[in-house]
Amino acid sequence: MPFDIKLLICEDNEALSSLMRFKLLRAGFKECFIAEDGKKAKELLDEQTFDLIITDIHMPYSSGLELTTYIRKELKLDTPIIILSSESIEGTVLTGFELGINDFLPKPFSPNELIIRVKKLLKL
């Protein structure tokens, strides 16, 4: 059963973003856009709306935390945000939640766990 859901993946690791996109599309999500850096992510966010955003913390141009601030403060969107990072330092995670992320997933992660978390945030 396909979900009429549009996702944005912000990840500079092409292999990982392609894997996430493949798994999410296979799980039934209709559209899955990829931004390879913070600049491209902001361009896509300025052009269209998404139902959920998955972002890495460390990316060129804008970090996932800077992107979260942009989404919450400048665009004033309450779109669910999941942050991925190999850096699970408590301060970084707490800062992410203070800025408005909805979930945090440490790398490496299971694509199946990501799908479960996406579905939970979207109440599917």
pLDDT of residue 39: 95
> 106: cis peptide before it, omega within 30°?
no
Count of alpha carbons within 13 Å of 74, Cβ hemisphere only? Answer: 9
Task: List the one residue out of 113, 110, 9, 93 whose CA is nearest residue 51.
Answer: 9
* pTM, to two decimals: 0.94
pLDDT of residue 78: 95
Residue linked to tokens 């913070």: 38
Low-confidence residues in the chain, pLDDT < 50? none
Starting at the edge strand that comes first in sequence, how are the strands of the sheet with 29-35 ordered? 29-35, 3-10, 52-56, 81-85, 103-106
Residue linked to tokens 């440490």: 106
**Single-letter residue type at 56:** D
What is the C-alpha separation between 24 and 30, in angstroms, rounded?
9
pLDDT of residue 1: 55
Task: Identify the structural domains of the chain with CATH numbers, from first to last.
Answer: 3-114 (3.40.50.2300)
pLDDT of residue 88: 66
pLDDT of residue 87: 72
pLDDT of residue 12: 93
What is the C-alpha separation between 63 and 57, in angstroms, rounded?
5
